[in-house]
Amino acid sequence: MTQVASSPNAVPQEIWRGKAYPLGASYDGSGTNFALFSEVAERVELCLFDVDGTETRMTLPEVDGFVWHGFLPNIEPGQRYGYRVHGPNDPAAGHRCNPNKLLLDPYSKAIDGVFDWNQSLFGYTFGDEDSRNDDDSAASMPKSVVINPFFDWGTDRPPNHEYADSVIYEAHIKGLTETHPDIPDGMRGTYAAVAHPAIIEHLKSLGITAIELMPVHHFANDSTLIDKGLSNYWGYNTIGFFAPDPKYSSSGTPGGQVQEFKAMVRSLHEAGIEVILDVVYNHTAEGNHMGPTVSMRGIDNAAYYRLVDDDKRYYMDYTGTGNSLNVGHPHSLQLIMDSLRYWVTEMHVDGFRFDLASTLAREFYDVDKLSTFFELVQQDPTVSQVKLIAEPWDVGPGGYQVGNFPPQWTEWNGKYRDTVRDFWRSEPATLDEFAYRLTGSADLYENTARRPVASINFVIAHDGFTLRDLVSYNEKHNDANGEDNNDGESHNRSWNCGVEGPTDDPEILKLRSRQERNFLTTLLLSQGVPMICHGDELGRTQGGNNNGYCQDNEITWIDWAAADTELLDFTREVSALRAAHPVFRRRRFFSGKPVGRRGEAGLPDIAWFTPEGTEMTGEDWGSGFARSVTVYLNGHGIPDRDTRGQPVIDDSFVLFFNAHYEPLEFTLPPAEFGKAWTVVLSTDGVEKGTEAAAGGSVTVDARATVVWQAVDPD
């Protein structure tokens, strides 16, 4: 046992040997154990900070298996701390230790404060990247915080919705809640705001089963954006894989964000809504060789980051952000797996969406779906049981991997987005691929024994146009981002319906409204798992900005006062139709073969017809000008059983899709498919409740959808 005080005002602290596991700061009621991995460290100092900023340093007394550790009695939750690592500083060999740089604990459960961007945070002197800078960074650094791990979860249980029954709502905590009139001012933009009854009721009214939160792991606000008067709004710049970001906390106390986050999860679970986190394990905020030294870079650079083999001063960058986490190193993998388990077991989240997940599959160079990371996930008894969603691409060679992730994973289906957008803007030769996307993308998933739910279907996500902007702009309008409109995707597969941006033309407004409804209907009635981007059900616009990553303001926040209530009601109606009918939520792919119906074989589980009512031929599918199709879904051809083992039987449906630029006459299928039909949903002038017999015809407006339900006379 030793006592150490590093300044006249510092209070001496006892430090015991402690334990090497778990990593991080662990409070047990009597004191706190500190443990930090570093294979290259020669000495590690734990630094404690008082409220007035007084720093107390002490050397961790023990090291086992490259884990430096010590136990401090009487250190309680709220204590702010950091590390100084003594070791080699040889960038050419991949080592960047510098004890003058205060470092955040990679296992911080909470972080307090913000970066004061200046020279002291960097390991080199500005203008000379090969120099060494020994300015002390402590005064400019946020601090790790010891947290209280205890929380009254009550009877909290995960909702455990099956994928087939899921509707995901992608949301930004602040963007969703910042202007909601029913949320108190001091609560808006926080975890507590997401748990507010007004937000929960909105989600429930839409049939949402899971909210997918954009990054809440503690992230750094980029200095380059701050200099422009902007900020990192999206949060894809993680520096704390265990710590919920205090920017979204209303508590105002160090560590209070942890309790507030847990309370949010508990409230959402009580409402039957799962919590999925958008997580960024592919890179960190330390960036490339010109970035700051604030955590893992100064602890063990070569262990945590992928370095260029023949010049270890530089970083492999598969993410476009400067660095890539080294998933080939066991302790880097341990960091990721420990983080995932922590969020499941301690924070009670229900799943993860992995940003640029292809990066995690790069053990060496190529993307390998059998990499160690995926093997660890599959074998882990905790992580393997939650929802695992991949963004199946990165910016490296061969990074676009839609359809290639392991069987237990689901994927953001970028091909679904692109195809549906092209279909509804009447691009030629898209009809056959549209059919694949509508029916669960069997061409991508069936050959690996996966199900339709492997496809997370989306038309809109945070990155790109909102739904309202998708039908209002041909070009991006990102001038507010300060990059001369050069940032953001230029090929958006959007169509402004005749006028760029706002208009008073009633015909164009009517067409845009119909297009929004076409996208929502297609999304919610496709096989697979639909994902709605927050505010699209309300007509949210970003004024044509398709890259709102730096806009923490009215550009990206939902304007609840301007909500399109008619569009909201329509979205609720389509979602309710999906929820009520398992024919839209099949757990297996269509076969197209005859199946039993009322004890008789003969009708297929799905059938495709031309607008004239004749079954589609190969020539029809191959026609480049074909933009319209009729789909028959057999409610008695669902190869699923309910939880009690009973066959799932539903009504049959016929869907008219007309992406043609003119109205077309559609004919219902012949009588063997159903003798009578009634309209239950329409995006055009065909009124709900309209009835017609088999073979009957109706005119469908240009770019419109009509959904018919069988009227069963038997």
The DSSP symbol for 690 reads -
Q: Is 475 annotated in the active site?
A: no
Selected catalytic residue, list 170, 355, 427, 605: 355
Instruction: For the beta carbon of residue 221, count every other beta carbon within 10 angstroms.
Output: 19
Reference 457, options 226, 671, 240, 167; nearest CA is 167
E-only strand ranges, 187-260: 210-213, 217-219, 238-244
H-run or E-run covering 629: strand 628-633
Q: How far apart are CA 166 and CA 160, in angstroms?
A: 10
Nearest 5°: the CA angle 605, 609, 612 is 150
Q: What's 444-475 look like in SS3?
A: HHHHHCCCHHHEEECCCCCCCCCHHHHCCCCC
Residue-wise DSSP of 198-209 = HHHHHHHHTT--
H-run or E-run covering 352: strand 351-354
Strands 664-667 and 2-4: unpaired
Q: How far apart are CA 274 and CA 258, in angstroms?
A: 18
Reference 552, options 320, 222, 257, 239; nearest CA is 222
E-only strand ranges, 79-201: 80-86, 89-90, 95-96, 110-112, 143-145, 168-171
Could you tell me the two tokens for 43?
Answer: 């000495």
Reference 264, options 168, 352, 147, 350; nearest CA is 350
Q: How far apart are CA 119 and CA 4, in angstroms?
A: 29
Nearest 5°: the CA angle 680, 683, 684 is 105
Could you tell me the two tokens for 475?
Answer: 């070009």
Which amino acid is it at 661?
A: Y
Q: Is 391 annotated in the active site?
A: yes
Selected catalytic residue, list 391, 433, 469, 564: 391
**Coil, strand or helix at 608:** strand
Residue with tokens 């006249």: 8
- Which residues are part of the catalytic machinery? 355, 391
